[in-house]
Each structure stands twice: as C-alpha cells, then as structure tokens.
Structure 1
Amino acid sequence: MLPADRALPWALAAVFFALYTALSVRLHQRLLTTGYDLGIFEQAVRSYAHGRAPVSALKGPGFHLLGDHFSPVLASLAPVYRVFPSPITLLVAQAALLAVAVVPLSRWAYQAHGRTAALVTGIGYGASWGIASTVGFDFHEICFAVPLLAFSVTALGNERWRAAAGWALPLLLVKEDLGLTVMVIGAYIAWQGSRRLGLATALAGLAGTLLEVLVIIPAFNPDHSYSHAGSFGGIESPGGILLGLLHLPMDLITPQTKVITLVLLLAPTAFMALRSPLILLALPTLCWRFLSAYPPYWGTSYHYSAILMPVVFGAFVHSLNRWAPDGSTQDRRTLRTGLAISSAMTVLLIAGFPLSALADPVTWQTPPRVAAAHRVMDNIPDDATVAASNRLVPQLTHRCTVTLFGFPNIPLTADWIIVDAKYPMGFPMSAQAQSDALDQARLDGYRAVAQDDGFLLLHRSTPGAQAGGSGRSSVSR
C-alpha cells in the first residue's frame, strides 16, 4: 500500500468532516437547530463539564437524563466543552465521530479490492442518507456508536474476533438498545470464530441491555420505569407479546414506509450487502424500529438510521470478497458492475437528503431575522432562567437554564420568555396555542422587554432580580 493510498481513508474522512461540520454549524447559525434535541444534549454535557449529574431542565425540573436513555458516553465531551462551552462543540464532535468511520471501511475495501473500491465505499458511506439525516438534525448520542460499529464490523469481516468484541462492548455505554447489537456481534463471533469469546460477548450485550432497561434507567426515572416501552404498544404484557408475534411478519413490512426504508438502505450497495452475513447486525435496530408504534422510527429522517450505515457498507465490502473470490475476468467484471451501481445510487440519493443543502446558496446566506433574534436575546443575562421557542433554545443553553415554552406538564417558572411570534415552529404547540400562552403569561405578570422582527422577549421580575443583561432593554418595532 503506497503512502498516498494509506492516506486515502484519512483524506476522505477529513473531507466529510469538513462537510458535516459546515452543514450542521450553518444550520445552527441560521436558527435551524432545536432544543429537542441539541438543547437537551448540551444541558447534559454542560452538567458533566461542571461536575454535576446530567440534568436537563428541558425534560423537566431536575430531570436526570440517565432516566431517559443510558448514555454515559456523553461525559467524554465534558473536558472539551469546559474549554469551548457552545452547542457548536457538540456539532463538531459529532461531525468528527461520523467522519472517522470512513477510515476502517475504506481501508478494508482498499486492502481487498484496491483504490476504486475504497473510494466507492468511503464516499458511499460518507454521503449515505443515514449519515446525512443525522448531520441535518441536531446532535445525538448515537454518533458515538457509528465509528465503534465501523471498526467492529471491519474486524468481523477480517476475522479478528477479539478486536471485533473490543470495539463492540463500549456500545453498552452509548444507548440501551445497542446491547442487542452487541449480542448479535457476539453470536456472529461464536458462529464464525471463537465460540467462547462470542458467547461471552453475546451474554454481555444481552445482560447490559436488560440491566440498563430494567434497573438503571428506572432508578433515575421519576416514574421509576423505562418510559420508552410505551412506544411498543401492548408488547410489555404477555398478551401483547403473543399478539405481537402473530403480527410480526406484517408489522415488519407495513406500512409502506418501512419497505421504502429497507430499499433505500440496501440500494447504495446495489443490494450486494444481502450476500454477506454481516447484514444480520442490522436486525436488532430494524426490528425495534419497525415494531414500534412511533411512526418516525419507520422512515429515513432524523438520526435513527445512522448506526445502520457502517453495517450496510461493511456488509458491502464483505460481499465483494464473496462475489469476486478468485480474480477471474468474470469476477472483475462483476466487481466493476457492483461498484458502478453503488456509485450511481449514492449520487442519485444525495439530492433527497440534507447534504445536498451544501450546494444551495440559501445555506450560505444568513437571514436578517437571525441578527434580530440575537439582538433580543442579548437582553437576557447569563445564568437566567428562560422559557424559549424550540429553535431559540440551543442559542441559550450554553449560558442559561432553559426550558421549552409551552411544553405540556412543565410549569412555567422562568423569569424570561422568548418566542418567535412571527413564524412559530408548531412544536410543542400550535401558533394559536402559543398566542394564548403568551396572553396568559402577561396575566401572570410577564411584561414585554424587547421585540424585533417577530421575536418577543418578556420578563417577570423576582425579588433581587435585575432586568436586562446588556443594558439594551427596549421595545422596538
């Protein structure tokens, strides 16, 4: 492997890191990130950075995030966040983690089939819709799982069983459902390689998920339960489990959204990933998503498919080894055809997902309203308590205690309210409901402090409080 070729995987990773960072940071700068979810994760990391438990006011007063999902891996961002306290720190970290997964996949492809295969695999993964959708929507803890899976899948494909298990086990610290993926990785190792190591890994994965879901998360949850079990309507009861098993085949392919997701998942590999048993690693994630009663899990939006991308492209490289084992003319022709189809599908799918926004001039233009929003937010002092619109939340979480204005069942106790009254997002309430809530806030003693291009700031004085953090408190039209 020539020095230039050894650098190729890292060069691809660097390119995608730059693209991911540019997209996510521009979205944040244009007020297109949200409190749900970037604000929540920043509150957790900010707490860790100051030596506190990961509490998120956005989830509720004193809500401990380990009672929602088991993601202690977020604490690893605390040292960097302490130096650079900004939501952009989380976005850049996510970009780096997602990009580094290019390295093992493209390196494996190069070693197996040369430079073209490395480029097709690296670019295919890097531009894949699952990764693009993740970058295009805030920050999520799942970004830690993506490189771990990429290295683990690559080790599996090269029959390095201890390395595969070593990369997989930290997934238990990323999110509670990933223990099931660790279990399947262990089963694969037991099937194809070391039985003892595989069974131990599988047992650790299953035990980890059960411990997190049944013990750890309920211990931190205010209701002493695993709240996400409700997404799998009725499955927690014996009757629900039996009924679920009877409906299982149809539930996995209906409604049509699930079939579309499966097709789009395999299309970038020219469906060749199906020839590798490594594709089995995708089953735990696909099953819990498709059996859920929560429709967003079924589709291609948000971050839900991120961990499937290294699995699918790892299976793709593995399938190339199986499809072209002896280097005959026919095998080389088959290999070239598969790589060409994969490249074509990658290019075709880019247009439908967030990375395509980088080619849109609008992405690089900052609307005047953004400056107006910051002028209004400048009136809020550091360390204040604020109830804000969803898209304004992550602009404030690095310096204030922020809740989501109008979120059900969370009392309004903040000293400050800031909303986008001109273009309400519609979450967590409709435009009319937001208007009604503002009227009620005024009745409860909040008074307008600043207004600019539809951004409205209200303040309610408390004993000893001082209005205005920058000395520019004024009502402007």
Structure 2
Amino acid sequence: MTLERFVRNLPRLSRSSWTAWIPVLPVGLYGLLLSLPRQWRMETTGFDLGIFEQAVRGYAAGQLPVATLKGTGFDVLGDHFSPALALLAPFYRLFPSAQTLLVAQAVLFALSVPPVTGVAVELLGRARGVAVGSAYGLSWGVWRAELFDFHEVALAVPLVALAVAALVRGRHRAAVCWALPLLLVKEDQGLLVAGVGALVWWRGGRRLGAVAVLAAVAGTLLAVLVVVPAFNPDGHYDYGASAAWHGDPLARLLLPAVKWHTVALLLAPTLFVALRSPVCLLLVLPLAARFWTPNPTYWGCGQHYNAVLMPVLFLSLADGLARLPRRTGRLARWVPALALLLALDAAPVPDLAAPGDGVRAARHALAAIPDGATVAAANQLAPQLTGRCTVSLFPYLTYPDARGPLRRPVARWVAAVDRPGDFPVPEREQRAAQAALPAAGYRVAAVGGGVTVYEWTGGPGPGRAAGVIGDR
C-alpha cells in the first residue's frame, strides 16, 4: 500500500476502529457497578475470590500461587492449570486488594467487546453492529460471571472474542494464534481451541487446523495428566472423575431437562439466529463436557460457566444475520435492536446501596486482627482479610477422597459468623467448630455485625479445636 493510499483510507479505518469501541465504557462501568459494591458490602466469598487473591498475591510476591484457603501450602496449579493468572500480578502489586481482581475482570470483559462489535459493524453496518456489540457486553453470561466474584475465565473471554472474530473474517492464522493462549488460562479451554482448529481444518486450512487440534489435545493432556498432578498434594487431577465413562452416554449428555433449558437460554438472546452460522459449532465441545459431568453445578446458567460462550454466540449472530437470504432482509434488520432490548431487559440493575451499620460493625471487629496474622476465617469473611493476612478456611474443608494426610493450617485468630450457611462446609460442622474454640484456648477478641473474632491466648495450642482448624 502506497503512502497516498494509506492516508486516503486512514479516516475510514479510524472511524471503524472507534465505532467498535463505543460500547466499551458503558459495559466496563456496568461490570464495576455490579461487582465492587458487593465487596464493599461484604457479599463476596473466599470460595472463590479469596482463593484467587491469594494466588495472584503469591505471583505478585515472586512466589508460587499458594492458596491457604485450600490447604497449607496448596498451590493452585494443583487445582487448575491457570498460569495466565500471573498476568494480573503487576497490577496487584500496585494495588494489593481483592478489589483489584474485580476491576481487572470488568476491564477484561469490556475489552472483549471491540472484536465482537467490529465484526458486527463490518457485516451489518454501524448502527446494527453497535447494537450487537452492546447486547453482547450486557448479555447474561457476562453479568452472571461478574456477580459471582472473580474467576480466571475473565482472561479467556477476550481471547475467545479475538479468535472467533478472526475466524468469522476468514483469518485462520490469526484465529489459531489468539486461541492457543487459552491453554494457559485453564485446562478446559482446550475444548475451544480444538473447536477453532476443527473449523479452520473444515474451511480448508488443513495443516493449520490439524496443528491447532493436536496442540489442544496435547496441551490439555499435559495439564491434567502431568502438570496439575505434579502440583497437587495428593498427586492427581481432582476433576478427572467427571470424565469417567458410566451409564448410558446419550442419556448422560441429554438428561435432565435443565441441560436443554441452558441451551435454549444461550440461544435465545440471539433470537436463535446464531444457529445460521457454522461458528456456533464452537459451543458443542464445551457444552458436551459440562453436560457429561455428573455434577449439576455445571449444567445450569449460574455462576461464570457461560461467559466464554457469549462471544461465540454474538459473533455467530452477526455472521448468521449476514448469511440470511435477501427476502428476509427487512425482518433481519430489526434483530440486533431486539437482541439489545432483550439484553437490557434481562440485565439486573446494579445495587449501589452503601454498606450498612452491620457491615461497618463487622469491619470494626475484623480490624482487631493484626496485619500478617494467621487467620481461620468463615467463607463470607475471607476476601476481607486475604489481602493482609494468611487466611485459611474456618472450619477447614476436608476432602473425603483425599489420598494423602489432611493438611490443616494453624491459625492464631478465628473470624466466624453468626449465620454461616452450608457452603463450603455444612453449617452444623461450622457451629460445632465454633463451640469448641474456648476449650482450645481461644477467647473472644471482638464482636460486631454478626461477626465474632477469637484470639488464641493459651491452651492445647492454636488450631486444635476438635481437630477442625489445624494441627501442629
């Protein structure tokens, strides 16, 4: 391209680029308004915001990503293969707080919007393209993830958006290059990488597609069979049982009805037009893996499990609209606007209520715990302490199928709540553990807002309360 031609095209390129970024600010701001007030009101949890903060805190200190909420010396690489979390370490080093992770997640989700919007603008025009991009940014899969603390999937979403956008444009090499880093985000992302490779192969990029599929298979097997077991205290991949072969495979994939409900809710925001695009086939492997597992947590629409599917769906919507026959053009013209209206209707209004007196009293009680202390904290309190203390779970979560000895952290301080709930430890066990604290030498140090803080002052030893907090 000559300099004269480049300069002549520059205004057009600039307008297209800026158009793709139009929804970014409102989407990012919406994500922040959903997530940050929850931390301020103490509505976040140790499982999983506290765990991820401990991991990133380890990386920021130049150490292994140890999460003491999972166990003494528990390296999160022994739970899931997610070394990409280290990318957040420089930001956490500057702003060492759980809020940094929530801000990073909102920013990452917002940065996934321009690839979707850019493709939609190219295929549908400026107004309809911005509508599709905005509908994606406000889609339920994204905001449900932001309402459920922080997860490493936030790092995957922009990569998926960039890979699938390149795939829709026919840029196969770029699609594979954007997809391969997904293998460093989490081991299950290999399914999406394999799907991208399969579509590249099907579209004629035989060698490139085959390389991508082989890399996905090799990377996933290496992670779950070698790397994760090497870091896991029990020497195995904890989630391997989900892939076990038993029962009728067809029934396991298709039943119960909640799985069909999830599929319908995934396609509904696109008014089912996404099915017109072959890119929609990228949903098959991730959904099949989730529906195969016997754990119903993965089947539904809650938490963060559908966030990575949203870029696929809305890029498929743009591609599907472009593929519709001309006779349906007038009807299709309104689909982006309807998709945006559906997204706006489903999106929750952010709760901006300020922390009440109870929260302020609870924070005052937690302030009795000194920085750097070892604390056994209830799940609801852990992310309020993980930025300044060494925090384990109160009471310690035991694993019935653990192959090695139970690893119980020793805690000099305990932070318990009046209403503990049943996750991740049954409430009766939490109440029994709290009742055993005085006999183990713990005294009440502070009370407020439904929180009771204990300090060990002498007795059998910190953490020996009925063997549920820790052993020397």
- Fold match (TM-score > 0.5): yes
Matched, 1:441 2:437: yes
Residues 31, 392 of structure 1: 8 Å contact kept: yes
Matched, 1:313 2:314: yes
Residues 376, 415 of structure 2: 8 Å contact kept: yes
Residues 161, 193 of structure 1: 8 Å contact kept: no
AA aligned to 2:429 is: A
- Residues of 1 paired with 2:257 and 2:264: CA distance? 11
Task: Determine the structure 2 residue equivalent to 1:66.
Answer: 77
Matches within 5 A, 1:227-238: 227-232=238-243, 234-235=244-245
Matched, 1:153 2:146: no
Superposed CA offset, 1:5-35 (max 9, x none): 6423223111111110121100111111100
Task: Determine the structure 2 residue equivalent to 1:424.
Answer: 420
Matched, 1:290 2:291: yes
Unaligned regions of 5+ residues in structure 2, if any? 1-11, 399-406, 462-472
Residues 123, 322 of structure 2: 8 Å contact kept: yes
Residues 179, 196 of structure 2: 8 Å contact kept: yes
1:424 deviates by 2.2
Task: Determine the structure 2 residue equivalent to 1:174.
Answer: 185
Matched, 1:254 2:255: yes
Matched, 1:85 2:96: yes
Task: Determine the structure 1 residue equivalent to 2:214.
Answer: 203
Task: Determine the structure 2 residue equivalent to 1:275.
Answer: 276
Matches within 5 A, 1:334-373: 334-350=331-347, 356-358=348-350, 360=351, 363-373=352-362
- Residues of 2 paired with 1:225 and 1:443: CA distance? 37
Q: Give the SS at the match of 1:419.
A: strand
Q: Give the SS at the match of 1:182.
A: helix
- Residues of 2 paired with 1:14 and 1:460: CA distance? 48
**Could you state the TM-score of these two structures normalised by the residue count of structure 2?**
0.90
1:331 deviates by 4.0
**Could you state the TM-score of these two structures normalised by the residue count of structure 1?**
0.89
Residues 119, 165 of structure 2: 8 Å contact kept: yes
Q: Give the SS at the match of 1:23.
A: helix
- Residues of 2 paired with 1:178 and 1:364: CA distance? 36
- Residues of 2 paired with 1:314 and 1:183: CA distance? 18
Task: Determine the structure 2 residue equivalent to 1:472.
Answer: none
Superposed CA offset, 1:434-463 (max 9, x none): 222111111111111111132100001379
Runs of 4+ with deviation above 6 angstroms: none
- Residues of 1 paired with 2:378 and 2:364: CA distance? 16
Matches within 5 A, 1:98-117: 98-117=109-128
Superposed CA offset, 1:119-151 (max 9, x none): 221121111111011000100001111000101
Task: Determine the structure 2 residue equivalent to 1:377.
Answer: 366
AA aligned to 2:389 is: C
* 1:197–1:431 CA distance, 2 compared to 1 (3 A): closer
- Residues of 1 paired with 2:99 and 2:235: CA distance? 33
Q: Give the SS at the match of 1:417.
A: strand
Unaligned regions of 5+ residues in structure 1, if any? 351-355, 466-477
Question: What CA RMSD, in Å, does the superposition of the two structures yield over aligned residues?
Answer: 1.8
